[in-house]
Every structure is written in structure tokens, then in C-alpha cells.
A and B are shown apart, each in its own frame.
Chain A
Amino acid sequence: MLSPELGHYALALACIFAAAQGILPLIGAHRRDRRVMMLAPGLALGQLFALAISFLCLVYAAVTDDFSVQNVAANSAVTKPLLYKITGVWGNHEGSVLLWALILGICGAAVAAFGRNLPSALRARVIAVLGAVAAGFELFCLTTSDPFARVWPAPMDGQGMNPLLQDPGLAFHPPILYTGYVGFAVPFAFAIAALMEGRVDAAWGRWVRPWAVAAWCFLTCGIALGSWWSYYVLGWGGYWFWDPVENASLIPWLTGTALIHSAIVVEKREGLKIWTVLLAIATFSFSLSGTFLVRSGILNSVHAFANDPARGIFILGLLGVVIGGSLALFAYRAPALTAGGLFAPVSREGALVLNNILLCSICAVVVTGTMYPPFMSLLFDRTISVGKPFFDATTIPLALPLFVFMGFGPMLPWKRAQLWPVLQRLWLAAIVTAIAFLVAAFGVSGVLPVLSCGVAVWIIAASITDITERVRLFRMPLAGSLQRARMLPRSVFGTALAHAGVGVTVLGLAAMSQAQHKIVEVPVGTTEHLAGYDWTLTNVTQEPGPNYSALVATIEIHHNGRLVTVMHPSKRSFNSQNQTTTEVSIHTNLLADLYGVLGDKHGTDAAPTYVLRLHYNPLAPWMWLGALIMAIGGALSLSDRRMRVGAPRRAKLSSETVTAA
């Protein structure tokens, strides 16, 4: 019943729904015709329903091994485990575009379902913009990347999946990352709707922020998951390679982070309105261009997607319409938007402006570094590479002041503040930071790692101080403090938690600069010493797996004569694709990772030697733990009463009375 043809038909139907969703509500909003505007939620739900059917059909084809579907034949095989048959659906270009469209459909339906309190014209326009974008991508999917194309005669078995992708971490990485990318379509749609209406006010800021924060949480988790995956799958012990694909996710994250901060200023003080609208457009534009340019093959990346310039032309045209159209609308309408609340340079607003300047500078640097090689090659026929040294040298000096200001920014009052009283309240955090500096100066080598350790501790200590100051901990009876803590809005805890998460990540990054590693070529029975641990290669065996055969090493690790762990790094040879992968073995105690990789086999069969790569990675898990804490902080502030759906209407009423007065 769930045939590929039904899926194809449902996708076409979704595209038509989306096109109607992109046009009719706009007409309705323009004519102030309530009945036409009320079509928007229904169309959005219809589109989602059709997309869900379409997606289910593709999953069904993959699970039932229908190799007459070209996409399944090219990416699946009978022997592939069931989990990867399902997740493999989005592990390739066509399927991931369908997933992308599905998530966009979910966003549209979510605005339809949760946006009941929005003014009807604004809601109609937001849903229409989402529909128009969705229509474009569904058309792209139908015309150039049809996931349901059939092959005949059907092969007996599929070609199998890229073994590198056969991994639980990567299985759930794309949906989370895409939810982050696509989630920023909602703030984008709000920005376009606001430009159409020519009005941005505090209520608009209040409506946009939860969507932006939610998308940001997913994007944060997605990036962390991707980095974690490259850490334990690629087997180089590295976690971030400044690869164009990684940068493509970091760039919208940076502007998205700026957006969730500048939207606060719109909401509280009606300032930075034009800037926030631009950030909302920019964030989604970067999400779109990042993910899709990677597929066009322009950016030279180790992450191989099937590249197809013809597909690239379609994407570029689509990007031109979406991004060019929105920026043209911005250029036409934004000059008429009135500037809002004034503030002194030293104030909460001032701190948030500084946050935006620094984040956008980092973003500009990353964009430049990513785009420089292809443009140099185009304009001057010169091939150059921009790598880690460039990015380290340019981003770290911008990030360090950002981290310093992050400490006291949340404690500054709005409108006009004085720095000194705030700094006085941070005396304890300053002392803790000074101690951290001293400890780091002795234990850590290199100026930047020491500075990074210091600022990381500063962020965490200052975030904790922010909470303890607000609840007047130890300055009044404990019961009183608890009472105050209960009264504090959850978003305050969310901010502190998210900022502390940044501190945890920075600590992890700084500690990772002290990582030690060793590459040796040894026979079985040898003991190596690294970072105070004794690593003994006790055995190497050949073991069969479901669709591969593996060479498995056994390494016993002792510390001061006590057995810490036994690890089994291995090398897998996949039968179907003639490809090998290295399976890293990691033992963590949350303070450090012991990381072992089995390399090539050398020597004769009688006396074989094995290349082993041993890494000692201090605080490595903290990098991803910090990202998780950031996302939890974001989720916590999402659960704030003031961010909930009922609140906007009241805020809107009060803002209207203010404008009237």
C-alpha cells in the first residue's frame, strides 16, 4: 500500500499544498479577508500530512528492501541492520532533502497549531512565507532529486551504505541538525512578515524568540553530535577540522546566537529592531546556503555528497529567490522602520550589542576563511588552502573578549548601568578566576590555553554568582533565598546555565590543547607508556561481523599497576564496498579520554607488527557536555512562563497602549 508511487504522488501533493499555502494567505492578508487568511493553518497541516505519507513510503521501501527504488538500491543492502535501514533513509542526498522538507512542514504546522494568539494577518503571512520556501524545496526534490525513482530491472541486492555512516551517532545527527537549520525558517518567516507589515515591536520580539531559541538548541546539539562523531569515528582524535561542512553549521549557529540575544533587546527595549530582522534573515540564509552549497560541490570538503552541478544551478536559483528576495524586501522596507529605545553604552543593551558585534565578527571571519579558497581559484586561478592556523589565529582573539564580557553582561541593568557595582558583586568569581589562572599557568603549557582556562572558569563562576546574587544566598536566611529562587523567572536560570555550558565547553577545548598522543609500530606483547598509563597490546584477532570482518586488538591499560580498562580498537573491512573503517576504542572517566586506534598491519605473517595510535585527551567529554548544558539552558528558558503562548497577547496589548499613549 505504501508504494513508492504513492510517496511520489504525496510529495507532489505536498508541493501543491505548499504553493497554495505560499500564495492564498498573502492575498487574504493583503485584502484583510479573514476567510482566505483562515485557509493558512489548514493548508499547512495538509502539507505536513502529505509529506509524512511521502516520507513513510520511503522508509517503508528501505525497510522492505525494495531495490527497485534507485535510492534504496544505491544506499542499502539486505544485510544492513534494521536501524540503519531506517536512518539510512536520510543518509543520502535525496532522502535528506525529503527530511528537510518534512521538518519545514512540521515548522509550518507548529506555527499553525501554536500560533493561535498571533494577530491573524501576521500568522497568515508567517505561514505563507514558510509555505513558499517549502514549495521551492519540494519542487527541487521532485525535479532534480527524486527519492522515489525506480530502476528496472531491479538488482538482487543494494550497494550498501557508506560504512562510515553506519553509526548510531550519525544516524540521529542529521534530523537534529536539520531541525536546527530549518527551525530558523520560523524567525525568518516572522522577519519577512514584519517587513511586509512594516512594523516591528516588542511583541514581535516576544513571538520570535521562542522559535529562535528552540532552533538554536537543536542546532547546538546537532553541531556537538557531529563533532563527537568525527571524534570517535574518523579516528584522528580531533573534534573540529574547520572543514567547509562543519563551518556551514557553525556560521548559522553564530548568527543564530546573536539573534537570540538581540531579540531580547527588541522584546525588552524595542531597540535593535532592524538589526534583529536582518539577523533573522541572515541566519536562515546561511543555513540554506551552507547545507545546499555543500551539495553543489563548490566547497571542497572531505564529507562527500554526490555532487551534481545541474542540481547546483537549481539550488542556486532557489537560493537567489529566497535570499535575494528577502534581502531586496529588507532593502526596500527596513529604512522605513522606526528606531527604538535609546540606551547608554554601559548597560544590558550595550553588553548585548557587544555580544552581537563579537559574534558577527567571528562569523565574518569564518565565512571569509570558508569562501576564500573557491573565490581565489575563480578569480586568480590560484589554489590555496585556509586551515586550522588561520581560524585559530583569527577566532580565538575575538572569542576571548566575548567570554570575558559574557561574565557580567547578564548582571548589568537595562538602559543605563554602572560597571563598578557590578564588578564588586563579582569579587568572589574574580578570585576564583585568579586562582584558576594560577593553577593553569603551572599545569598548562601555552598562553592561549592558560587564558582560555581562566575565562572558562570566569564564565562559570560569574554565571553562578548571577544566580546567588539574585537569590541573596547567605545574605538572608536560606528559606528566604529558596523562596526568591522559586520566584525567579526560569529564563534567568536558563541564561546562567547556557552561559555556564559555554564555560564547560571552553574548558574542554583548552584542556584538549594539552592532549598527548603517540604512534608506535609494535608486535603483540609490547607495553607503551603515555600520560602515566601503561598500554599493553596483548592480542590481535580476526573476527567476523554482520556485513564486515574485523581485525580486533586487545589493549590492557594499567595505571600504577592497577588495571584501568581493556579496550578493543578494531579495523573493519566491509565486503560490499571494499572499504575499511577504523573503530576507535575510547575509555572515559569524564576527566579524560583514553583513546586507542588500531592502524595498519606491517611485517611478515610470522612476525606481524601493528601500528597503534594512542591518545590521552584530558577533559574531552566536556566539550560536548558543555554544548548539551547550553541546549538544556535554552530549553529551560523556553519553559519560562513569559515565553509561553498565552503571554504574547497580553504583551501586545500593553505595547499597543504604549504606542497609543
Chain B
Amino acid sequence: MSTSPDNENLTRRRLMMGLPLAGAAVLGVGFWKMLAGMQRGSFNPHDINAPVLNRPVPEFTVPDQAPGQGFSAQDLRGLTKPVLVNFFASWCIPCLAEMPTLMSLKDDLTLWGIAYKDRPENAANFLKHSGNPFTRLGSDHDGRIGMEWGISGVPETFLVGPGGIIRWHTATPLDVDTIRNTLIPLLEKLKAS
């Protein structure tokens, strides 16, 4: 009888020592699925936002962010002109670096901004220092709206065409070359159609 608690103990030890293997196996199966998906083309971690292109903007409402007024999917769908929607954050230096470019754009194109995972007061301060190119501004404090849009980080910029259709998207800071070579031709095309 005295061996049974010992045996129980040993079984428990065995189960415990098997845990790392089980964990690694789960991860391994996951990785295998991802790789298989990448080969078939159904899983692509690098092109995560491709599905949103030429689709309507997701359902969302973003509350006000000082000094601007928030907006919703309805507002974007009611548009007749294209709008550039930019996700930014005060903690993101590439966003800060992008600001002069956005400022130079604001006279030619309507810009709406969403402060992503940022405290409203920090975002407001950020815009006070770097200049505010946005005509409307929302605060996505918990990052849920960014999730709806499928962003992978900040800065990310979406060109929303008339009717609230996402026409273009970039996950890198906007620069002069991109504007000249990609954004402007696209805007011309949208205007023509």
C-alpha cells in the first residue's frame, strides 16, 4: 500500500515533464499549418491587409480626439471626395517623421486621423507640437478600431474613395516618392472615373 502514493507522485511528475513536449508540439503544428497555408497562398503574414483593398471600410465609430471631431463608417460612406485616413500615435517616431509630409499634403487632400493606442492628452500634445494636418480626428484608445481596419502597426494610411471604399493602403511612413509615384496617379484615376 505504501507504494501507491509514490506511484501517484511519479505519474504526476511524468505528466508534468511531458508538458514542455506538449506545448512544443502545439506550436509546431501551428507553424506547420502556417507554412502549408503560405505555400497554398491562403496564409500570408506579410500581406495581411490585402483583403481590405477595394472593399468598404469596416463598421466603426471613433470618438472625438482633441482638437478634432470623431467620425464613423457612415461619414466615410457618405463621401464624394477621397479622404486619406491615417493611423498615428504619439509614441511612434516614424509617425512623427511622417508629419511634415502629411502637413504638405493637407491643402490638396482631406486628411482624417485616428490616434492609435494613445492617451488622448498625449495625442493632443503630439499634434500641438508637430502640427495638425487632420480635419477630423478620432481616438482609438484601446486599439479596437485599428483591429477592425486590420492595421499591423503605426503609421498606416488608407486612401478611402467615394462611397467609403478603401482604394489604397500603406504600412510605411508616407514620403515624397510614394506620394509622387503612387498616391497622385491614383487620385487622378479616381477623379477620372
Q: Which residues of A contact B (CB under 8 A)?
A: 236-238, 274, 278, 281-282, 285, 293, 296-300, 307, 309-310, 312-313, 316, 319-320, 323-324, 327-328, 330-331, 334-335, 371, 373-375, 377-378, 382-385, 387-389, 517, 519-521, 599-600, 602, 611, 613
Asked if A278 contacts B20 (CB within 8 A), the reply is yes
Asked if A316 contacts B30 (CB within 8 A), the reply is no
Give 7 A-B contacts (CB < 8 Å), ordered by A residue: A298-B38, A299-B45, A300-B152, A309-B35, A383-B48, A385-B152, A388-B91
Asked if A374 contacts B97 (CB within 8 A), the reply is no
Contacting A at CB under 8 A, from B89-139, are 91, 93-94, 96-97, 99-101, 104, 117, 130
Report if A327-B94 is in contact (Cβ < 8 Å); known contacts: A335-B13, A385-B153, A600-B175.
no
| Partner-contacting stretch, out of B21-29, B74-82, B182-190 | B21-29
Let me know if B5 is at the binding interface, CB within 8 A. Answer: no
Q: From residue A516, how far is it (CB to closest CB) to chain B in Å?
A: 11
CA distance A281 to B17 in the complex (A): 13
Per-position binary interface string of chain B over residues 154-180, scored 1 when its CB falls under 8 Å from any chain A CB and 0 otherwise? 100000000000000000000110000
Report if A599-B97 is in contact (Cβ < 8 Å); known contacts: A323-B24, A383-B152, A388-B91.
yes
Contact with B176, one of A312, A371, A602 (Cβ below 8 angstroms): A602
Asked if B31 contacts A330 (CB within 8 A), the reply is no
Asked if A330 contacts B17 (CB within 8 A), the reply is yes
Asked if B43 contacts A335 (CB within 8 A), the reply is no
Let me know if B150 is at the binding interface, CB within 8 A. Answer: yes
CA distance A327 to B22 in the complex (A): 9
Let me know if B39 is at the binding interface, CB within 8 A. Answer: yes
Asked if B104 contacts A237 (CB within 8 A), the reply is no
Let me know if B10 is at the binding interface, CB within 8 A. Answer: yes
List B contacts of A323 (CB < 8 A). 24, 28
Asked if B21 contacts A327 (CB within 8 A), the reply is yes
Asked if A387 contacts B28 (CB within 8 A), the reply is no
Q: From residue A526, how far is it (CB to closest CB) to chain B in Å?
A: 14
Q: From residue B85, how far is it (CB to closest CB) to chain A in Å?
A: 17
Number of A-B contacts (CB under 8 A): 120
Let me know if B69 is at the binding interface, CB within 8 A. Answer: no
Let me know if B62 is at the binding interface, CB within 8 A. Answer: no
Asked if A313 contacts B33 (CB within 8 A), the reply is no
List B contacts of A378 (CB < 8 A). 30, 33-34, 37, 43
Asked if B28 contacts A371 (CB within 8 A), the reply is no
Asked if B35 contacts A316 (CB within 8 A), the reply is yes
CA distance A37 to B39 in the complex (A): 44
Asked if A600 contacts B176 (CB within 8 A), the reply is yes
Contact with B38, one of A282, A293, A312, A389 (Cβ below 8 angstroms): A312
Asked if B21 contacts A237 (CB within 8 A), the reply is no
Asked if A602 contacts B104 (CB within 8 A), the reply is yes
CA distance A312 to B31 in the complex (A): 9
List A contacts of B14 (CB < 8 A). 331, 335
CA distance A295 to B176 in the complex (A): 31
Asked if B117 contacts A389 (CB within 8 A), the reply is yes
CA distance A281 to B14 in the complex (A): 17
Contact with A327, one of B24, B46, B99 (Cβ below 8 angstroms): B24
Per-position binary interface string of chain B over residues 44-61, scored 1 when its CB falls under 8 Å from any chain A CB and 0 otherwise? 011011000000000000
Q: From residue B103, how far is it (CB to closest CB) to chain A in Å?
A: 8
Q: From residue B156, how far is it (CB to closest CB) to chain A in Å?
A: 9
Q: From residue A143, how far is it (CB to closest CB) to chain B in Å?
A: 17
CA distance A647 to B49 in the complex (A): 59
Contact with A236, one of B21, B93, B154 (Cβ below 8 angstroms): B93
Closest to B20 in A: A327
Asked if B93 contacts A313 (CB within 8 A), the reply is no
Contact with A309, one of B18, B21, B39, B117 (Cβ below 8 angstroms): B39
CA distance A385 to B16 in the complex (A): 32
Contact with A331, one of B20, B32, B43, B91 (Cβ below 8 angstroms): B20
List B contacts of A334 (CB < 8 A). 13, 17
Asked if B153 contacts A387 (CB within 8 A), the reply is yes
Asked if B31 contacts A238 (CB within 8 A), the reply is no
Q: From residue B99, how far is it (CB to closest CB) to chain A in Å?
A: 6
Asked if A297 contacts B100 (CB within 8 A), the reply is no
List A contacts of B20 (CB < 8 A). 278, 281-282, 327, 330-331
Let me know if B145 is at the binding interface, CB within 8 A. Answer: no
Let me know if B147 is at the binding interface, CB within 8 A. Answer: yes
Asked if A374 contacts B93 (CB within 8 A), the reply is no
Q: A310, A334, A385: which has the most chain B beta carbons within 10 Å?
A: A385
List B contacts of A299 (CB < 8 A). 45
Asked if A285 contacts B31 (CB within 8 A), the reply is no
CA distance A642 to B153 in the complex (A): 50
Q: From residue B111, how far is it (CB to closest CB) to chain A in Å?
A: 17
List A contacts of B21 (CB < 8 A). 324, 327-328, 330-331
List A contacts of B151 (CB < 8 A). 383, 385
List A contacts of B150 (CB < 8 A). 383
Q: B48, B99, B146, B150: which has the most chain A beta carbons within 10 Å?
A: B48
CA distance A313 to B36 in the complex (A): 8
Asked if B101 contacts A319 (CB within 8 A), the reply is no
Q: From residue A285, how far is it (CB to closest CB) to chain B in Å?
A: 7
Asked if B100 contacts A611 (CB within 8 A), the reply is yes
List A contacts of B13 (CB < 8 A). 334-335
Asked if B147 contacts A377 (CB within 8 A), the reply is no
Asked if A316 contacts B31 (CB within 8 A), the reply is yes
With A319-B28, A373-B45, A385-B146 already in contact, 14 other A-B pairs whose C-beta atoms are closer than 8 Å? A236-B97, A281-B20, A298-B45, A323-B24, A327-B20, A327-B24, A331-B20, A334-B13, A335-B16, A374-B34, A375-B30, A389-B91, A519-B99, A520-B100
CA distance A313 to B31 in the complex (A): 9
Report if A312-B35 is in contact (Cβ < 8 Å); known contacts: A327-B20, A327-B21, A387-B117.
yes
Report if A296-B35 is in contact (Cβ < 8 Å); known contacts: A331-B14, A331-B17, A519-B130.
yes
CA distance A284 to B97 in the complex (A): 39
List B contacts of A324 (CB < 8 A). 21, 24-25, 28
CA distance A299 to B46 in the complex (A): 8
Report if A335-B97 is in contact (Cβ < 8 Å); known contacts: A309-B35, A320-B28.
no
Q: From residue A96, how far is it (CB to closest CB) to chain B in Å?
A: 20
Q: A236, A278, A335, A520: which has the most chain B beta carbons within 10 Å?
A: A335
List B contacts of A374 (CB < 8 A). 30, 34, 45
List A contacts of B17 (CB < 8 A). 274, 330-331, 334-335
Asked if B27 contacts A371 (CB within 8 A), the reply is yes
Q: A236, A373, A519: which has the most chain B beta carbons within 10 Å?
A: A519
Q: From residue B143, how far is it (CB to closest CB) to chain A in Å?
A: 8
Q: From residue A363, how far is it (CB to closest CB) to chain B in Å?
A: 13
CA distance A299 to B28 in the complex (A): 14
List B contacts of A331 (CB < 8 A). 14, 17-18, 20-21
Asked if A600 contacts B35 (CB within 8 A), the reply is no
Q: From residue B63, how far is it (CB to closest CB) to chain A in Å?
A: 19
Contact with A600, one of B34, B43, B99, B101 (Cβ below 8 angstroms): B101
Asked if A237 contacts B93 (CB within 8 A), the reply is yes
CA distance A56 to B77 in the complex (A): 63
Asked if B93 contacts A309 (CB within 8 A), the reply is no
Closest to A278 in B: B20
List A contacts of B39 (CB < 8 A). 309-310, 313
Asked if A316 contacts B28 (CB within 8 A), the reply is yes
Closest to A299 in B: B45
List B contacts of A384 (CB < 8 A). 147
CA distance A517 to B96 in the complex (A): 10
List B contacts of A300 (CB < 8 A). 45-46, 48, 152
Q: From residue A252, how far is it (CB to closest CB) to chain B in Å?
A: 15
CA distance A373 to B93 in the complex (A): 22
CA distance A316 to B39 in the complex (A): 14
